[in-house]
Amino acid sequence: MASHRKSRPVGTRVAGIRTPALATAALTSVALLSQSANAAPADDRPSLEEVEKKVDDLYRQAESATDNYNAAKEKTATQRKQVDTLLDDVAQRTEKLNEAREELGSFAAAQYRTGAAAPDTATFLLADTPQDYFDQTQLMGRLTNRQKGAVDDYVSEQSATMKKRQEASQSLQTLTETQSDLKTAKATVQKKLADAREMLSELTAQEKARLAAIEKQKQEAAARKAAELARQQAAAEKAAQEATAPQESTSTATDSSYATKAAKALAFVRAQIGKPYVWGATGPDSYDCSGLTQAAWKAAGVDLPRVTYDQVNAGTTVSLADAQPGDLVFFYDDISHVGLYIGNGMMIHAPKPGAYVREESIYYDGESAIHSVVRPA
């Protein structure tokens, strides 16, 4: 007879679990779901490259805000001097006004005591002789003229004093607004830097090591680009010397004068290497980027404006291929960073918060980051 038993499923039953077919598939599904659940939060985290870009953007925004802070700070100092000058002027004019008022009071008192009035027929009748009348008339005329002059002086001084008071009031209002801008810019810088520090603090030790490796690769690429520019500049300089060797020109004298000043600026900036970047700082112990270039050229006897977007207009723009030591190299579309070119594709600059004044390739953030090159003297 044929057996009525049901066929046994594939696999064996052990303690109520069928293996390996359905059980293995079920366990695999559970494991995959578990892995997916554990991986979900990690997927929400930005990649290391995204973190690096975000941090760099925050530092750049902080530098831009620093320039706004520097400009507002400089403007505040100028306006405060103007307000102080106006207030001093108002005080002096008020004192003169009081003196003019006292002089008018003395005339009124003198007239009251003497009963003086304009000469008329009564005066003539009271005079003993025609000469007496003439003398009294002359005296009263002089008194009237002096009094009129005192009144005119008083009115004029009063008008000038009121005008100065209005100017002082307007200047005080402008100063208050600029101080508000200064406070806002300062808060913006601090917020950007705090955000950058927070992002970096959330990285693991392994991620920080990878970030350092990425930065090293960027620096190596920048150094290669700088060496290439150095070779191009050397070849161009040699060709120029060969072409102009028999000739003497005023441009040679001009270049020599600039080189002398640039050498002083370069000597100064080299002495600052290793000092910390501090936003808003102009030395001598720390610098921000434009504070460093301003101080360097001041050592050469050249006064540069305080902020990058003013420094970029304080000289002659030259091509990157024609850059000479001492030139200012500006970066980014918003001109938020600047360094001092030292030749061979390299510069000395105050890079960013947490860093120190250092020598670095002008291609440190890629060729597209370079905005322009300016010769300041």
Q: Establish whether 4 is a catalytic residue.
A: no
For the chain, the straight-line distance linking the first and the last C-alpha, in angstroms and rounded, comes to: 114
When pLDDT is averaged across residues 129-153 and rounded to a whole number, the result is 61
pLDDT given at position 375: 97
Q: Establish whether 59 is a catalytic residue.
A: no
CA quadruple 356, 361, 364, 368: dihedral sign = positive
The packing angle between helices 289-298 and 48-114, to 10°, is 60
Q: In the structure, what pLDDT confidence band is assigned to residue 10 with cuts at 50, 70 and 90?
A: very low
pLDDT given at position 143: 56
Active-site residue, selected from the candidate residues 349, 352, 371, 375: 349
Look up the pTM and report it: 0.63
DSSP state of 369: G
Strands 12-14 and 328-331: unpaired
Q: Is the pLDDT of residue 361 over 90?
A: yes
Q: Is the pLDDT of residue 289 over 50?
A: yes
pLDDT digit string, tens, across residues 220-274: 888 898 888 888 888 887 887 777 655 555 555 557 889 999 999 999 999 999 9
Q: Is the peptide bond before 284 cis (omega within 30 degrees of 0)?
A: yes
Q: Which two tokens stand for residue 175?
A: 């100063």
Q: In the structure, what pLDDT confidence band is assigned to residue 305 with cuts at 50, 70 and 90?
A: very high
Active-site residue, selected from the candidate residues 193, 222, 289, 373: 289
- Higher pLDDT among residues 285 and 183, named by residue: 285
pLDDT digit string, tens, across residues 180-191: 888 888 888 889
Percent of the chain topping pLDDT 70: 70
pLDDT given at position 165: 78
- Dist CA 237 CA 230 (whole Å): 10
Active-site residue, selected from the candidate residues 275, 337, 352, 371: 337
Write the CB contacts of 227 (distance below 8 Å, at least 6 apart in sequence).
344, 345
pLDDT given at position 85: 82
pLDDT given at position 245: 58
Q: Is the pLDDT of residue 33 over 70?
A: no
- Higher pLDDT among residues 316 and 156, named by residue: 316
The whole-chain average pLDDT of the chain stands at 78
Q: Closest Cα to residue 271, out of 292, 257, 290, 294? A: 292
Q: Is the pLDDT of residue 343 over 80?
A: yes
When pLDDT is averaged across residues 296-309 and rounded to a whole number, the result is 96
Check if the beta carbon of residue 48 is closer than 8 Å to that of residue 214.
Answer: yes
When pLDDT is averaged across residues 83-102 and rounded to a whole number, the result is 75
pLDDT digit string, tens, across residues 38-78: 444 445 667 877 888 888 888 888 888 888 888 888 888 88
pLDDT given at position 233: 83
DSSP element (H, E) containing 18: strand 17-19
pLDDT given at position 330: 98
Q: Is the pLDDT of residue 279 over 70?
A: yes
Q: Which residue has the tokens 């108002």?
A: 90
pLDDT given at position 106: 67
- Per DSSP, which regions of 15-152 are E strands? 17-19
Q: Establish whether 281 is a catalytic residue.
A: no
